[in-house]
């Protein structure tokens, strides 16, 4: 299967709810490097129903996060993630790539320790690194007409670290009625510049509903995950039990005194047939529907897009934009409220109520991240899994000798009295 190029979008959302909604509509990008995201409590959100795609610190309200398509199988690199910085590991062409979104507060020194450590780590381990930054600084290196003290300091870091800047041209990345500047910057290390086939970097003039503009580019490749899954939440388990009971009776498994490997295979086939009926394998669509979105919001979005760019050049258009923006925000709030009311009213069964409880609790499980082992943090997902195996299953290496290929003989299912006594057909039937 041919690989697909990885499309990246970079943006400072200026903590705007409307800008977050707009970015949520841009699902054609596999990665979004986000600074100053809109947050609900301490949690960044794009209001698109795909909260599981966002990666950031969970300790404080973050000013940097990354949205990543699950098909890239991202891992959060906690060693280089804090309030103003989010780092994930993905794979491009079979090679691990680090991607970081970084916010450099104008009231803090431009030299961020974690950012420097990240650059050094990637240089030492030869890991390609792509960084999207809101630098809050000026330098000719990224298209500004002049530099300032923050820009000079950042230039020194760039030159001493072997970092390259992807920005080209002089199109402002930040623009208001009172002025414009280039402060949003995309940087890469030498490994990324040589190996990732970076291409088509540009300032996207599409309206973002933020004071900042979109930066977009492409790199590398990945093979979309076509793995099929079952949606057990929608399964009819009563019907499943009927199918399995019928299959067990027809195969006469319960009438046997001795269980053989063939019997286990028959049972597995019976179970799979039942699952194929009540929960068939499907390829995930990847995009959850936005249930509260409607035609009125679509029309307002188009109007905002038309007025959006003009707002930066005249007060008349700016006032028109503000009025449309306020109306758009109001209609979004009304649409979300009405959608939630309809959803709650439609809840009738215990299953529907259970779903409501899970939504209200809002406690998403945290995925596995890059872990810290005895010798420091791991750098790849495989190394993290190795740490987990060493910690919880320290004897696992004794089972198979990696050099000789010899290992312990597996316990045979047939003719093993202890195993047959423990795993009998009645226990299996009760379990399913």
**Domain map (residue ranges) of the chain:** 6-219, 232-282, 295-363
pLDDT of residue 400: 47
Share of the chain above pLDDT 70, in %: 80
Q: Give the highest mean pLDDT range of 64-73, 187-196, 235-244.
A: 187-196
Residue 90: name the closest of 102, 76, 72 by CA.
72
Instruction: Report the 10 Å Cβ neighbour count for 118.
Output: 24
**185 pLDDT above the threshold of 80:** yes
94-111 burial: b if 16+ Cβ within 10 Å, else e = eebbbbbbbbbeeeeebe
pLDDT of residue 94: 82
Task: Pull the structure tokens for residue 398.
Answer: 């004794």
The band of 1, judged by pLDDT with boundaries at 50, 70 and 90, is very low
The band of 225, judged by pLDDT with boundaries at 50, 70 and 90, is low
Note whether 126 and 169 are within 8 A (CB).
no
Share of the chain above pLDDT 90, in %: 40
**34 pLDDT above the threshold of 90:** yes
pLDDT of residue 378: 74
**399 pLDDT above the threshold of 60:** no
Over residues 171-196, the mean pLDDT reads 93
User: In angstroms, what CA-CA distances link 422 with 104, 265, 427?
Assistant: 60, 18, 8
**364 pLDDT above the threshold of 90:** no
**423 pLDDT above the threshold of 60:** no
Note whether 90 and 8 are within 8 A (CB).
no
Task: Pull the structure tokens for residue 2.
Answer: 């041919």
**429 pLDDT above the threshold of 70:** no
pLDDT of residue 217: 97
Instruction: Report the 10 Å Cβ neighbour count for 49.
Output: 16
Taking the C-alpha atoms of residue 369 and residue 79, their distance in angstroms, rounded to an integer, is: 10
Taking the C-alpha atoms of residue 11 and residue 215, their distance in angstroms, rounded to an integer, is: 7
pLDDT of residue 320: 87
Instruction: Select 6-219's CATH number: 3.60.10.10, 3.40.109.10, 3.40.1020.10, 3.30.300.30.
Output: 3.60.10.10
**3 pLDDT above the threshold of 70:** no
The band of 391, judged by pLDDT with boundaries at 50, 70 and 90, is confident
| 181 class by beta-carbon count within 10 Å (0-12 exposed, 13-18 middle, 19+ buried) | middle
pLDDT of residue 126: 94
**255 pLDDT above the threshold of 80:** no
Label each residue of 202-226 as H, E or C.
Answer: EEECCCCCCCECEEEEEEEEECCCC
Note whether 124 and 94 are within 8 A (CB).
no
pLDDT of residue 422: 55
Q: Is the Cα dihedral 278, 281, 284, 285 positive or negative?
A: negative
Over residues 183-187, the mean pLDDT reads 97
Note whether 54 and 44 are within 8 A (CB).
yes
**235 pLDDT above the threshold of 60:** yes
Over residues 336-350, the mean pLDDT reads 83
pTM, 2 dp: 0.74
**352 pLDDT above the threshold of 90:** no
- Average pLDDT for the chain: 83
pLDDT of residue 403: 47
User: In this predicted model, which residue has the larger pLDDT, 402 or 320?
Assistant: 320
Over residues 386-395, the mean pLDDT reads 75
């Amino acid at each position: 299967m041919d690989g697909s190029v990885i499309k990246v979008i970079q943006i400072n959302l200026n903590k705007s709810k409307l800008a977050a909604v707009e970015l949520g509509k841009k699902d054609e990008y596999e990665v979004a490097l986000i600074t100053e995201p809109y947050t609900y409590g301490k949690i960044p959100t794009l209001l698109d129903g795909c909260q599981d795609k966002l990666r950031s610190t969970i300790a404080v309200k973050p000013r940097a996060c990354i949205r990543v398509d699950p098909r890239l199988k991202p891992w959060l690199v906690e060693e280089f993630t804090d309030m103003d910085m989010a780092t994930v590991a993905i794979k491009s062409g079979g090679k691990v790539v680090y991607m970081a979104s970084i916010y450099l507060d104008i009231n803090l020194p431009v030299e961020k320790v974690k950012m420097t450590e990240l650059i050094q780590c990637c240089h030492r381990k030869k890991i390609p690194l792509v960084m999207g930054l809101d630098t809050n600084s000026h330098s000719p290196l990224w298209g500004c007409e002049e530099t300032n003290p923050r820009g000079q300091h950042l230039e020194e870091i760039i030159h001493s670290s072997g970092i390259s800047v992807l920005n080209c041209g002089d199109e402002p990345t930040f623009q208001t009625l009172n002025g414009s500047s280039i402060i949003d910057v995309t940087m890469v290390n030498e490994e990324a510049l040589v190996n990732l086939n970076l291409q088509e970097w540009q300032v996207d003039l599409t309206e973002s509903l933020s004071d900042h503009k979109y930066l977009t580019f492409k790199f590398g490749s990945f093979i979309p995950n076509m793995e099929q899954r079952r949606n057990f939440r929608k399964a009819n388990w009563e019907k499943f039990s009927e199918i399995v009971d019928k299959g067990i009776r027809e195969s006469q498994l319960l009438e046997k005194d001795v269980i053989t490997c063939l019997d286990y295979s028959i049972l597995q086939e019976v179970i799979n047939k039942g699952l194929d009926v009540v929960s068939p394998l499907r390829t995930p669509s990847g995009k959850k529907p936005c249930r509260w979105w409607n035609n009125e919001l679509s029309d307002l979005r188009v109007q905002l897009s038309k007025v959006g760019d003009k707002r930066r050049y005249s007060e008349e258009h700016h006032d028109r934009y503000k009025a449309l923006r306020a109306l758009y925000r109001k209609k979004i709030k009304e649409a979300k409220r009405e959608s939630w009311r309809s959803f709650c009213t439609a809840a009738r069964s215990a299953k529907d109520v259970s779903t409501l409880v899970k939504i209200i609790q809002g406690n998403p499980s945290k995925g596995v991240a890059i872990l810290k082992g005895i010798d420091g943090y791991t750098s790849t997902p495989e190394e993290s899994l190795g740490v987990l195996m060493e910690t919880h299953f320290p004897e696992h290496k004794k089972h198979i000798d990696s050099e000789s290929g010899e290992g312990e003989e597996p316990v045979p299912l047939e003719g093993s009295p202890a195993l047959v006594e423990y795993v009998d057909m009645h226990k299996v039937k009760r379990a399913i």
